[in-house]
Amino acid sequence: MAEETILESTERTSGSEALRKNVQAAIALAGAVRSTLGPKGLDKLLVDDQGQTLVTNDGVTVLESAKVEHPVAKMIINASSTQDRVARDGTTSTVVICAEMLRNAWQLVRQGVHPATIARGFAQAEKFALESLKELSIDADRSQIQSAIETSLTGKLDKAMEKHLAKLSLDAGEIILTDGRADPTRVKIIKQNGGSMLDTELITGLALAKSRIHSEMKERGGPGSILILDGGIERKQPQFEAKLNITSTGMLDAFRKSESKSILSQIDNLVEIGCELLACKEGIDDEARQALLDNGILTYRRVEKKDLDLLSRACGANLVPDASRATKQDLGAFIKTREELRGGINHWILDAEDTGATLIARGSTDGVLEEVDRCFADGLGVACQLLEEPTLLPGAGATQVALARRLRRHAESVPGREQMAIEAWADALESIPRALAANAGYDGIDSLLKLTAAHNDQGDFIGLDLDDGEAKDTISRGILEPLKITKQAISGATEAAISILRIDDVLWAQMDAQIPAEVEERLQGFGAE
């Protein structure tokens, strides 16, 4: 009685009923993205509440764009988002495997197996699978790394563009590779409307869509010193309303001369400290522009703050708020500076010790540009992983089938009901080759049986050829996946499934009916009348 009183404003679902509803939510979520998996996966058309449209087959983009209220679905979406952040690929696989784990776990619960037992079995299966991945992995050369990047992009764009972006991603990764580490944030992306996606190009160095402030300034030069100004060189506007009381004819002229002197003193300081290149966040006064030209200081203005940060990191320069207070210690160094016309737009390109690279993405519409941006980011993430850890696994479902076969043999040595959970976990892995086959128009069960038989006869590197539905060697065909992506997908899916299995009570707080503010105002006005 006391419990009912405490929970009188709460809707409660507990026990197996709570698990059943949670599993239903997971299966429904997986159903929304399963058809996007693989090279033959289909696209989703997303329409937001503003009427903006987006066509994509990126699983995490679909899930994060959807308005999902169910807490379990949100847990799985978080696992998919983590997969995207850590590995840049495998987001749909994580959701599909997790949902299949929960579907199989529900069947075991109906047979009388306790969820805690299933969770222990799943944890054992995960540990064994991660250890077994070492037996399936191969050391990759450069061509295999590019093939793996192409595999990660397969189905997202047309074949020619996937190949083009894979090459650009690997080139960019090699440019930013320093001491065995590659930082994707050192690659800047500029999006330009017009032209074909195949016109997308990579520039070594930091490129900004900027022109020098005076056409007579020398556009090419280096090496030299650079100052980055988090402000501008212009007459200061008062921050509040002020009135000047002019009592003599010379006062206004003196006031203007004082301003000019202040501006020129800033230029003198730049000359004194040895500044040869200046990048400003704000504007440059006309008088200052002429003085900069006379002193041979190449200058760019109205540079965005994020680009100033990139320049600062690349050149080792400090961001200075005022040119008059700049010192030699604030200067950075650049190797070369130049201006080039790209796609009909002038670009300032700077090379320094740590500038990285710039991708100029081209496309006919904003939607196409967004997709190119996402695909390049994914490809670059995979490239960075493989340059740091060049280890690959066979793709096209080969790794999942090989792990499932090993797990079933391992399960025979496990006493107790955990053995059933390990077999259920192995079955969940096989949902990947089934989905790949189904999305290509083949029967999922028949394809899985064909693949399993081929593994028994020809070894672990046999995967599905989705062009003809046959089981073929993946290494020779270049169908490869980074080890890190598969490891993260297995770990993320398992952790999410175990967390959901441990939930036996769902408490929903009942919300009071809310009256919209405008309706309430009308009601109050009606009462007043």
Catalytic residues: 58, 91-92, 378
CA dist 256 and 379 (Å) reads 56
Using DSSP bridges, classify how beta strands 462-465 and 391-394 pair: parallel, antiparallel or unpaired.
unpaired
Maximum CA pair distance of the chain?
Answer: 103
Query: What angle, rounded to 10 degrees, do the helices at 483-501 and 15-33 form?
Result: 150
Nearest to 441 by CA among 467, 416, 409: 467
Q: CB within 8 A of 163, min separation 6: which ones?
A: 150
Nearest to 337 by CA among 300, 308, 374, 306: 300
Which tokens is 326 given?
Answer: 């700049």
Residue type (1 letter), 478:
G
Q: Are 210 and 348 in contact (CB under 8 A)?
A: yes
Q: CB within 8 A of 198, min separation 6: which ones?
A: 160, 161, 164
Q: Which helix (H) or strand (E) holds 345?
A: strand 345-351
Q: Are 106 and 498 in contact (CB under 8 A)?
A: no
Which tokens is 9 given?
Answer: 């404003």
CA dist 316 and 227 (Å) reads 10
Q: CB within 8 A of 523, min separation 6: which ones?
A: 515
CA dist 283 and 260 (Å) reads 15
* HSE of 40, CA atoms in CB hemisphere, 13 A: 17
CA dist 515 and 524 (Å) reads 12
Q: Are 300 and 219 in contact (CB under 8 A)?
A: no
Helices (H) and strands (E) in the chain, counts: 19, 22
191 forms beta bridges with 361
Q: Give 246-270 as a DSSP string.
A: --SHHHHHHHHHHHHHHHHHHHHHH
Q: Give 36-73 as a DSSP string.
A: G-STTPPPEEEE-TT--EEEE--HHHHHHHS----HHH
CA dist 462 and 455 (Å) reads 6
Phi, psi of 319 (to 5 degrees): -80, 120
Nearest to 336 by CA among 219, 488, 466, 497: 219
